[in-house]
Amino acid sequence: MTEYNSIAATDFKSDTVTTPTPSMLQAMLTATHGDDVYKEDKTTNDLQARVAEMCGKPAGLFVVSGTMGNQICLRAHLHQPPYSILCDYRAHVYTHEAGGLATLSQAMVTPVHPGNKIYLTAEDVENYLILGDDIHTAPTRVISLENTLAGTIMPIEEIAKISTLARQHGIKMHLDGARLWNAAAETGIPLSEYGKHFDTMSLCISKGLGAPVGTVIVGEPDVIQTANWFRKQAGGGIRQAGLLAAAADVAITETFPKLKLTHEVTKKLASELEEMGLVFQIPVQTNFIFLDLMKAGIDPAVLIEEGNKLGITITGARIAIHYQTLTAAIEKLKLAVKKSLEIAKQRHANGTNGVKKSQGSLAYGVYDKIVVDH
C-alpha cells in the first residue's frame, strides 16, 4: 500500500476517512471559480461531463454527498404518492440516510432480504414488487440497488434481469453506486455497462477514491434537471464548486486505478485473519471485512480497546481498507484481533464471556450492539 501520513492511515472505521492528497490540493489552487448554481463553472461542468461519459449517460450533477445524490435521484423519479421504493433491507438509502425517503419523498419502502443472503436476485425482487392500482397499496415506482453493498459485488447478470423486470412494469432503476468504482475495478466491467441498466446512478468520489467532498449523479437530462431542483431546495446549490470538483477529478484519475490493489490487500488480510480462526459475516470481495465477532466470542468493546492501545481505530465488526491504509496499521490490527481472541478465550474459560447476540445495522460499521454478560 502507498505509505501516507494521512490521519486515515490508521483508521479502519470506513473508507470515508480518506484525506486529500497534495495533488488534489494543488488542483484546487488552479480550479475555475464560476458560480455552479448558474452552471458557470468549467471545472465542475467538466467533471460532471467526465463522469456522465464514463457511465454512458448524457447528464451529470455534482452534489456534496452520497446521501444527497441518492435522495434527489429517488425523489426525481417519484411523482404522485402513494408509491414505494424497493431495496435491499440493508440498503444505505433505507438504513442510513436519516429517513429521507419518508420526509423528502413521502415514500414507503419495501425492504427485501436476499435469498442468498448476499445480493438481491430478480426472483427476490419479483416476489415483492407492488403492482396495479389497489387503493390499499403503495405501488413500486423505483427499484434502488446498491453496488457494492457492504463490500460485496452484485453480479451484472442479475442487475440486468432486475432491470428487464423493472422496465416490463414501467418501474425506474436507481443505483446507489457510492462504491461502484470498487465493483468496476474488481470485475473489470466498465461503469457504462452498469449504466445501461439504470435510469440514475449516484457515484461517490469521497470514499475509496479519496476526494474531500463530492458525489456525481448521472442520468437523462430531464431527470438530472429535476434532481438539480431538489438539490437547490435542500440548500445543496454550490457556488465556487470548482474547488471541490478539481479535487474529485484528480481522485478519479489517480485513485480509481489503485482500487484493485486495495482489494488485494484486503483479501490478504482476510486470509490471515482466517488463519487466526476468524470467520466473516459475508464474503470478502473488495475493501471491507465483516468479522463475525459472535462466532469468535469477541466483545466488540475489547477489540476497539485493543486497537486504541495500538494506536489504530477500529469501530466494530466492519474493517475498512482504503488506499491510504498503512501496512504497519494492518499489522497492528492483526495484533488487536489476536489479543481480543485471547481475552475471549480467557473469559470463556472462566465462564464470563456471554456474547449473546448482535443487533443494529452491521452493513455500515455501526457499533455492534452485542449483548455481553460478563
Ligand X SMILES: C[C@@H](O)[C@H](N)C(=O)O
In the complex, the residues that contact ligand X under the rule CB under 6 A are 14, 16, 96, 364-365
The partner in contact with residue 48, picked from ligand X, ligand PLP, none with C-beta cut-offs of 5 to 8 angstroms by kind, is none
Which strand (E) or helix (H) includes residue 334? Answer: helix 327-349
Grid coordinates of 59:
447528464
Shortest separation between residue 146's beta carbon and ligand PLP, angstroms:
6
**Nearest CB to ligand X, comparing residues 16 and 313:** 16
The partner in contact with residue 365, picked from ligand PLP, ligand X, none with C-beta cut-offs of 5 to 8 angstroms by kind, is ligand X
**Nearest CB to ligand PLP, comparing residues 243 and 344:** 243
Q: Which residue has the cell 460485496?
A: 152
Q: Are 230 and 79 in contact (CB under 8 A)?
A: no
The partner in contact with residue 176, picked from ligand X, ligand PLP, none with C-beta cut-offs of 5 to 8 angstroms by kind, is ligand PLP
The partner in contact with residue 65, picked from ligand PLP, ligand X, none with C-beta cut-offs of 5 to 8 angstroms by kind, is ligand PLP
Q: Are 352 and 359 in contact (CB under 8 A)?
A: no
The partner in contact with residue 353, picked from ligand X, ligand PLP, none with C-beta cut-offs of 5 to 8 angstroms by kind, is none
Which strand (E) or helix (H) includes residue 140? Answer: strand 140-146
Shortest separation between residue 72's beta carbon and ligand X, angstroms:
17
Enumerate binding residues for ligand PLP (CB under 6 A).
Answer: 16, 65-67, 70, 92, 146, 176, 178, 204, 206, 364
Shortest separation between residue 365's beta carbon and ligand X, angstroms:
5
All residues at 6 or more sequence positions from 274 whose CB lies less than 8 Å from its CB, including other chains? 280
**Nearest CB to ligand X, comparing residues 91 and 223:** 91
Bridge partner list, 289: 319
**Nearest CB to ligand PLP, comparing residues 19 and 65:** 65
Shortest separation between residue 105's beta carbon and ligand PLP, angstroms:
16
CA distance 208 to 166: 30
Where does the chain have alpha helices with state H? 22-29, 42-54, 66-77, 92-95, 100-103, 122-128, 156-168, 180-187, 191-195, 221-233, 242-255, 259-275, 293-296, 300-309, 327-349
CA distance 355 to 160: 41
**Nearest CB to ligand X, comparing residues 185 and 320:** 320
Shortest separation between residue 69's beta carbon and ligand PLP, angstroms:
8
**Nearest CB to ligand X, comparing residues 16 and 19:** 16
**Nearest CB to ligand PLP, comparing residues 146 and 368:** 146
Long-range contacts, 125-128 (Cβ 8 Å, 24+): 125/86, 125/162, 125/165, 126/165, 128/86
Shortest separation between residue 135's beta carbon and ligand PLP, angstroms:
33
Residue 131, SS3?
Answer: coil
**Residue whose C-beta lies closest to ligand PLP:** 66
Shortest separation between residue 282's beta carbon and ligand X, angstroms:
14
The partner in contact with residue 204, picked from ligand PLP, ligand X, none with C-beta cut-offs of 5 to 8 angstroms by kind, is ligand PLP
DSSP string computed for 238-285:
-SSTHHHHHHHHHHHHHHGGGHHHHHHHHHHHHHHHHHTT--BSS---
Q: The dihedral of CA 279, 283, 286, 291: what is its sign?
A: negative
**Nearest CB to ligand X, comparing residues 121 and 148:** 148
Q: Which residue has the cell 448524457?
A: 58
The partner in contact with residue 146, picked from ligand PLP, ligand X, none with C-beta cut-offs of 5 to 8 angstroms by kind, is ligand PLP
